[in-house]
Amino acid sequence: MILYDRKYPITHAERIATKFGPAIVLAFRDTPDRILKLFMLKRFYSAFSDEDLEDINSAKVVLNLVYEGQCVKTHAFKVTIENQ
């Protein structure tokens, strides 16, 4: 279960192609034995450079995903990404 306002270190990031177009997928752990993947909205595809993805995957940079609740209108999950 994803907890409100808890920081989840992003362990892997990659670009993928979906039937809806290109996307960024971020992987993180909510428990030691479970990895979750978050498909970011299309507008975030250009927000991450190839160098950013390499830095995340090599652990040069540790970014945290923070769950901030759910939108009451769209039911979309609200998250932020913070530096550690």
Distance CA 40, CA 7 (A): 17
66 touches 6 (CB < 8 A) = yes
Looking at residue 76, what is its pLDDT? 87
- Strand-pair partners of 74: none
Looking at residue 34, what is its pLDDT? 94
Looking at residue 5, what is its pLDDT? 80
15 touches 54 (CB < 8 A) = no
- Confidence check: pLDDT of 16 > 80: yes
Q: What is the pTM of this model?
A: 0.86
- Confidence check: pLDDT of 55 > 90: yes
DSSP H/E element including 70: strand 63-70
Query: How high is the mean pLDDT of the chain?
Result: 92
Mean pLDDT across the stretch 14-41?
Answer: 93
Tokens, residue 23: 């996307």
